[in-house]
Structures are given as structure tokens and as C-alpha cells.
Amino acid sequence: MIAHSSYKSLAKVLTEHSTQLKKGDHVLIDAYDTPESFLIVLLRTVRECGAIPFLQLHTGNIDRELALGATEEQTSLQVAFDLARMKKMQAYIAIRGSHNISEMSDVPEEKMNFLSKKRKPLLDYRVNKTRWVILRWPTPSMAQQAHQSTEAFEEFFFRVCTLDYARMQPGMKALKALMDQTDRVHIKGPGTDLQFSIQGIGSVSCGGEFNIPDGEVFSAPVKNSVEGEITFNVPTLYRDRCFENIRLVFSRGKIIEATSNNTSALHEILDTDSGARYLGEFSLAFNPHILHPMRDILFDEKIAGSFHLTPGQAYQVANNNNKSAIHWDMVSIQRSDYGGGEIWFDHQLIRKDGLFLPRSLKLLNPDYLLSTKKKTHP
């Protein structure tokens, strides 16, 4: 049984830190398979901020049924309705639980591509025009993915999600400053030798503002600059299908070769549109509580000592002008227990085997972020 105090602490992170609600804000709470007990606490916390909550409830099996039967007329009308409502919102909080991580796995790929394309204007408005945050909700299904008991996973979840994100700020500021002035990035590791430019793109620090859990700084490769190959050592779940051992080969920014345990499905997704074979994001992650993958991207993309690259849509705040209906974060862990690896910025070794080397960036290493003593330098 999760304590009410844990609910309240999490609700305050979402409303005060992530979305920074203020009096009069309209807030859409988009809840998927989320217990009523938490939603009641969240609604009350929103009101305590002086904001006005609106609630939409989803269940996985109902969403599957709607997706299976989606038509052009129905989807266009639904998106128009949802977009009109979103334009009345200043903030958006999504709580995404899932009783079955494979609920949508038998929805045909062409139907999923159709829905992604139709919903893109709604996604673009929400990402670019509201203060938003997305949170996973702990379920027995997630506990199974993490190979933990339900109780142990819930304890882990609330410890990770209520982390003191302010402690990350000095290190994130230093990493952002370095990425903002970097041209060439070189990633080395098992099955990986990849180079690209991030010059002029800019970077964004993420310390609990958009995702909970959080802990990354992201940019995007110059669209046509990516050259080489990469092998991802973290399994990835996309559209409720699991992919492992993804290997991509790039030439002039485009994915020209792609293999995995399910190569045909991988190519179906990469052929969604012309932007799906180009990258829209590059990110370095450092959440000290998250060490191992659990096939949930909001957790896996924050793993300490990892990076991720993203075929598909770029964020407007770090924009390389790649446009796509997909945004697929693919993760690789570079700690020594996962085979090691290196990140180089303009011929300087920045991170080796998952640990940052420059003095100002050591503030993002787990030994500092998890220490209980106050430090000014590591």
C-alpha cells in the first residue's frame, strides 16, 4: 500500500516543479490506467496552486479497440476536438500506466502510422505551446519488466520520481554550456563508431521539467552530418513491440542499413515517412537511481552512463528541422558493466565508461548526485 505522503510528494513535483502551475492556469490531466486515489490527490494539489484541472481517462483495452476501428472521419474529428481543447490549456500532465505493455501489439502497423500522422498537430501544439510533463505510473506489469516485486518497484519508483532535481542543476548547466559550443561529437563503443555535428543546434537541460523521472541534456545532430554505425545494447519497446540489438548505419545523415531481432518491423517503422530515417535528438543521461533497462523509455533514456539517439521528429527547442510522425528514442549504456564506451566533443574525451571526466561535469556522476554531504566540487 503506497502511503498518501508519497502521492502528495509526487503531485507537488508535477505541479510545482515540472509545470510550475500558477493561479488561473488551465491544466489537462491525461491519465492512462491510473488509480483514482492518486488522481484525487493530484486534482487537489492542482487546485491548491490556484489552477483549474481538467481530466481525461484512458484504459489500454479501450484505446486498443478505438485504434483497431479508427477511420479517417472519426480520427479527424477527434483530433480537431482534442486540439481545440488543448488550445485552451496552459499546462499538460500525462500519467501513463499500463496493465499490459503489449496491449497495442496486434494493431496493424499501417493503422498505427495513420494515427501517428493524424495526431501530429495535437502533439506539436502540446509540446511547443504548453508547459508539459509525462509520468509513468508503477504497475505490476512495470515491476515484471524491472524484474522486481511489486512492492520493491513501487519503493524504487517513488524514490526516483521524487529525487532532488535541484542537485543536478550545476552539472547540467555546465554540460549544456559545453554542448552549446561543441561542433563535432564522436561516439565509440562495441559495434559503435559514429560521428556527427551539433553546431548551432543548441541544447536543453532536463531536470524534472518535461519527464518524471528525469536527468538528461539533449541536442540534435545537424541533419545530414551523421556518419558511421551504432549498435544499441538496450532493448526498446516501440508501439508495443520489443526490439533488441538494433544496429544502424548512417550515410549523410540517413539510415541506410538497419537490423535487429525484428528487422522487417524495424524497417516498417523507419519507412513511416521521409524524416523517420534521420535523427531528431541526441542526449546524454545521468539519473543516478536508474542503472538497468526495464523496457520503459521514460526510465531507460535516463539511465546513468547512457546516451540515446532518436530517429524521427526533432524538438522545436533543439531543432535540426527534421520532421516525422515518429520519435523513437534508442538507448545505449556505456558503463563498464555494459561493455564501456566513450563520448568525445571536438576531440576532447568527455565521458569514459559512463563517467564524466571534466571537473565541472563530474557533478553529474552518481557518487556526487547520491552523496548526502554538501559539496561545491566533486
41-80 pLDDT per residue, tens: 999 999 999 999 999 999 999 999 999 999 999 999 999 9
The mean pLDDT value for 131-138 works out to: 92
Q: Specify if 375 maps to a domain.
A: no
Backbone angles phi, psi at 270, to 5 degrees: -70, -15
Q: How many domains does the chain have?
A: 2
Q: Are residues 156 and 269 in the same domain?
A: no
Cα–Cα distances in angstroms (integers) from residue 341 to residues 187, 331, 347, in the given order: 8, 13, 15
Q: Specify if 284 maps to a domain.
A: yes
CA–CA dist 201, 179 (Å, integer): 9
Domain interval for residue 78: 4-161
pLDDT reported for residue 372: 64
pLDDT over threshold 90, residue 192: yes
Q: Are residues 262 and 309 in the same domain?
A: yes
Q: Are residues 124 and 88 in the same domain?
A: yes
**What residue has cell string 548512417?**
250
Q: What's this model's pTM, rounded to 2 decimal places?
A: 0.80
Residue 124 burial (C-beta neighbours within 10 Å; 0-12, 13-18, 19+):
middle
CA–CA dist 11, 152 (Å, integer): 21
Q: Specify if 305 maps to a domain.
A: yes
**What residue has cell string 476501428?**
69
Give which of 255, 343, 273, 359 is closest to 306, Cα–Cα: 343
Q: Are residues 39 and 157 in the same domain?
A: yes
Total Cβ atoms within 10 A of residue 230: 21
The mean pLDDT value for 278-285 works out to: 98
CA–CA dist 373, 57 (Å, integer): 42
CA–CA dist 200, 319 (Å, integer): 9
Q: Which of 126, 145, 161 is the last residue of a domain?
A: 161
- Strand, helix or coil at 221? coil
Dump pLDDT digits (tens) for 235-276: 998 987 899 999 999 999 999 999 999 999 999 999 999 999
Q: Specify if 344 maps to a domain.
A: yes
- CA dihedral of 232, 233, 236, 242, whole degrees rounded to 10: 110
Instruction: Find out whether 142 and 296 touch, Cβ atoms under 8 Å.
Output: yes
Tell me the Cα Rg of the chain.
20
The mean pLDDT value for 299-325 works out to: 96
Q: Specify if 26 maps to a domain.
A: yes
Q: Are residues 157 and 190 in the same domain?
A: no
